[in-house]
Every structure is written in structure tokens, then in C-alpha cells.
Amino acid sequence: MHSQTELASGWADGIISPSMMPPPGPRVRNAALALMALGVVFGDIGTSPLYAFETALGIAGASSAVGVASLILWTIFLVVTVKYAAVVMRADYHGEGGIFALMALLRASKFLRVESGLMVPLVVFGAALLLGDGAITPAISVLSAVEGFATVHPAWAAYSQHAALGILTVLFLAQRFGTGRLGGVFGPVMFVWFICLAATGAVQIAGCPEVFRALDPREAVRLLGGAGWGAWAIIGAAVLAVTGAEALYADLGHFGRKPILRAWRLLVFPALILNYLGQAALVIRTPEAATNPNLFFLLVPGGLPRAAMAVLATIATVIASQALISAVFSLTSQAMDLGFLPRFFVRHTSSRVKGQIYIPLVNFALGATCLFLVVAFRQSSSLANAYGIAVTGAMVVTSIAFGAVLFSRPELVKWRSIALLAALLALDLPLFGSCLTKLFEGGFVPVLLAVAVAAVMLTWRRGRGIIRQAMQFGAVSPEELGHRLEAGGFQRVHGTQIFVVRRPNPEHAVACILEQHRRVKVLGRQLVILLLDPEWANPTENVGGVAASPLGGGLWVVRATHGYMVEPDVPAMIRKAEEQSDGRLAIDPDDSFYVVARELIVTCPENVMSGWQRSLFAFMSRNVVPGPNYLHIPPDHLLIYTWLLRL
């Protein structure tokens, strides 16, 4: 994750040299953060006017333009301004937000037993829904933008799908090069986009001031009350206007709460209000516009201005898609560090900002899914049916996890926590229920994607848990191993062996040492157990606290913390441990080897792990990235051995 200082100083990376600028003050830094948030946090919700009002109006009818605008605006207000900005964003874990931050808060609490309940599968499913949203958002956003060129020349409509496929292909192929230099452009471009949203809407409102009736929530209530069972479908379409709401909370650690809220209150929300009111005003003045599949672009006069708006919309949707892709990379990295996914290959694309990463396997899977959706649904209006379930489902999970965090704090009055949770669910459940009406019209797509991703995450977590239990059977403590080494009986050779364990489980490392001795009959003269502990308090710190303890017999235990969003630098941690040992721990880099164990389940009873889970876990285990790719260990000083387990 990015610190505020990194982002404020790096937003113009590649455009303005930091040496040319004086150190920014708090106001300048916050303004820079707010500007960058426009391109990262608000890209998704900022491009929703391209399709949200048009989709809802197609269900409600042209005569309901005011009611539809009222429903959309009040949905945005309640979900974004009230739920996230005023309530949920106040729950952070050392400045970090998102669904995994709530999991960290629950794990840190001693009031609830999180690991043994349903909260872990629920949070994992919520995260999987967000990952599925990352595949749908680029498809519908880019497709809806390129469809706008049909308003300039109707013959171009036949090429919309091909243009979207081409743009998305280039976008995913470009991920390997990183977005550091483009990051400074995203914010200003989205600033221009929101200004255009506000301006085009204001022009239409000027000719139809009666549209301000949409600011009265009774118009939304009147629309839903007169629609009967069709109200659920209208609500499901209005949800498209808040599809980027979860990003406000997920990107809390990137920019901080104040810059995000400042950008929302001063520019984004006012621009959205004016644009949605403008679309309603256009329909009131020109009812035939309601049947046009490119209603948004009719706000702009024909000819060159409309073509320029279509180009700007395409760029804005690419930026929004990039933000979602980057979010998927970050979410995947968090899942790996929390033990829900195996170690995929991760490449940092920026030497200044650690949070800018590229995960090839995830990029390929995401890109292939996105392109498949464009080919399968062909039009943004059809793809809209698949949109919404993932976002509203994740919103429900966030509310439940937030409520669990409230209950985990004994100092809070329980009835107030219950009342707040009930209010949040009273908002989220109707939105989620309305999207379920589209389940068999394409809404099953994000559900299937989420189920598949959640199955992978839970299977990996279960398999690793079974391995830990098997290795701890009859485990020996590090202190006891130190006594055995002092007593002799082990053949020792010159050099240092460093046993690396990614989780702070010393018994696991001791089991690895004894297993190696059983196999090769010798141990190094000096043994180091390095326990890596990802720390949420310092998400971007590569090497945090290091504590080295001698246990006798040449055995040392080194506990090292690192930011949960970074790749730990193992050699740097060892050097820091040497410095803190006052010369007692001396390691020759040329005569030391790092030992990493890979455990594979060979046989496992059905009552421990089902057949499909065992096959899936075995496939993932065989494809785990070896140590040098994520621990910065020199390849010629790495020893990897496979430990076959029969359970």
C-alpha cells in the first residue's frame, strides 16, 4: 500500500522531477492526494452515468425520469455518503481499509473466535465477489464507452465489440510495464471528466428546472410504490450507480480518509448529481431520447463535441478499468499474505511505490475472463444484468463484518451496535435482493466467478492447515532442540543453514530441521530459524522489527516482521539480526544456505479432505512459486526440498 507521503511526492513521477519541487506542505499534499483519488478511487463510480440511468429508465419507462433520477441520487447518498463515508470508513486497521482489514480487526480481537466460525468463509466469499467485479467492470465500462461513437456515426455501432476487445487486450498486455508514469495522468484526466459530467448535465438542467423535484426522496418512493413487483428490477438497475462505492473503503490506506472524502464532497458527488439530473431533464424535454441506447452522449451537442466526449469517456473507462485491475492485484497480494492463496509470482513495477505490482497469472485469468464476457454479452445493456450482484453482495459482507467488529469491542454498547448493523443491512439487503432478480439473466456470472475463487482460497487455507497439524504432531520446541544440539549426537558440518518459515510457527521450522537430518544425516554448524511475520501496522515496511535469540548448540531463532503488502527481503533481515546480536551471530554470506520446505499431500482420507479439494490443492502446491521469486534469496544459496505427507 502507498503511504501518503509517497503518493503526494510521486503523483507526477515521470513528468516533474522531485528535485525541481519544494517539499509539499500539508495542504498541497492533501490536494495532490485528492487529485490522485479521482483516478484510482472514483474511476468506477465516475463512469456509471454511461449506463446506470439509461438501464433503470429502460425498465421504469420514459415518464418516470424524475423518479429514476431521485432513486439513483438517494441511493448514492445513502450508500456512499452515509454508509461508507460517515460510518464504515471509521473502522480501519492501522490506517488500512477493505474487507481484509475487517478480518484483521477481528483476528486481533480476543472477544470473538473468528477462525472457528463462519466469518472466514463469509469474508473470503466477499473478497471473491470483489475479484469477480474486477472482471466485469472493465468489460461493461469500455464497451459502454465505445458504443458512444454510434451517436456520431451510426455505422460505427457494428465495430463497438471489436473496438472494446482491442482496447481491453492492449490494456491487459500493458500491465507488465506498470502504471507508475501513468498514475500522474489519471487524476487530472478524471478531473476533466467530472467537470464535463457536471457541465453537460447543467446545460440540460437550465432548460428544465422542474427536474430538481428529483432531490425530493418522495419521488423515488412514489416511483417504487407504483411499480409493484417491478420495483425490484428498477432498484437493481439503480444499483449500477454505486458500483464503485466499495473502492472508497478498499483504498483507504492508499490516500487516507480526508483526501478521499474531500474529493467526493467537493467534486465527484456534485458532478454526479448534475449529470443524472441532466439526463432526466433531457428525457423530460425530449421523450424519444429515452429509447436511445446511448442516452448519456445525447447530453452533448452533435458533431465534434460528441466525438470528443466519446473519446474522453473511453479514456475514463480505461482509467476506471486500470484502477479495478490494480485493486485485484492488491487484493490477491493481501490474500497471499494472509494465507488464503499460494505464492504466485509477483513483480514490482515501481522502484518508488511498493504497492504497484504485477501478477502475471492473475492478469491472464482476469483478462481472459473479461474478453470472454465481451464476446458472450456483446452489448453493455446485456452485460448490465451481470453487474451489481458482485458489488451488492460484497457490500452485505462488509456490513456483517463491520457489525462483528462492533461486537468484538466490549466497550461499545451492544444495543447500539445491533441498531447500527440493522440499519446497514436494511440498506444493503434490498439492494442485493433486487440484483438477485437478474440472477438468471446473466447475474449468475459473478456468482459463479465468486464461488470458484472462494473455493480456491478456502481449499488452499484448509490444505495448509492440515499440513500444519500433521507437522506439529509430536513437535519439538526450539528450546528442546537447542538442548539436544548441545548434548551432541548430531553430525555437524561447517557453514550456516537458515530455515525460512513464512508464518511465526517455530515448531514447524524445528520439524523441517529434524526432517532434513533424517534425510541427509548432517546439519550445519550454525542453524538459524527465521520466522517471517507480516505486520499490518506497517504495510509498506520491507524490514520491520527483528529479534534474534540464541538457544544453544549453535541454534538461533530470528523473528522478523515486514509489511503485509511487500515481499520480505530475507538476506536484509539476516543482516539486521547480525547487527543486533553484538557479534554473537556471525554469518558468512558465501557459506550460508537458505532452506525452504515444500510440503505435498500424497494421500489423505476422504473425511479429512474431499477428493476434488485434494486434487485442487495438489495442483496449486505443485505450482507454488519457489523462494527466490518472493524472498529475495540468491538462487545459488537456496535449498528447496519436497516433504511428502501421508495423512
Task: Look up the pTM and report it.
Answer: 0.76
Q: What is the pLDDT of residue 12?
A: 32
Per the CB < 8 A criterion, the answer to whether 9 and 159 are in contact is no
Question: Treating both helix axes as pointing N-terminal to C-terminal, what angle do 180-206 and 304-337 enclose, rounded to 10 degrees?
Answer: 130
Give the contacts of 78 (CB within 8 A, at least 6 positions apart).
427
Where in the chain are the domains? 25-461, 476-646
Q: What is the pLDDT of residue 605?
A: 63
Burial 609-629 (b: 16+ CB within 10 A, else e): beeebbebbeebbeebeebbb
Q: What is the pLDDT of residues 430-445, one digit of tens each?
A: 999 888 887 787 778 8
| Phi, psi values for residue 63, rounded to 5° | -70, -10
* Most confidently predicted of 352-366, 394-408, 469-483: 394-408
Q: What is the pLDDT of residues 185-214, one digit of tens each?
A: 778 889 999 999 999 999 999 989 999 999
| Phi, psi values for residue 550, rounded to 5° | -80, 140
Per the CB < 8 A criterion, the answer to whether 15 and 184 are in contact is yes
Q: What is the pLDDT of residues 97-132, one digit of tens each?
A: 778 888 878 877 765 565 556 788 888 888 888 887
The whole-angstrom separation of Cα 363 and Cα 177 is: 12
Closest to 168 measured CA to CA, from 425, 375, 449: 375
- The CATH code for residues 25-461 is 1.20.1740.10
Q: What is the pLDDT of residue 426?
A: 93
| Phi, psi values for residue 358, rounded to 5° | -135, 125
Give the other-Cβ count within 10 Å of 552's Cβ. Answer: 15
Q: What is the 3-state secondary structure (H, E, C) of 77-90?
A: HHHHHHHHHHHHHH
Give the chain's length: 647
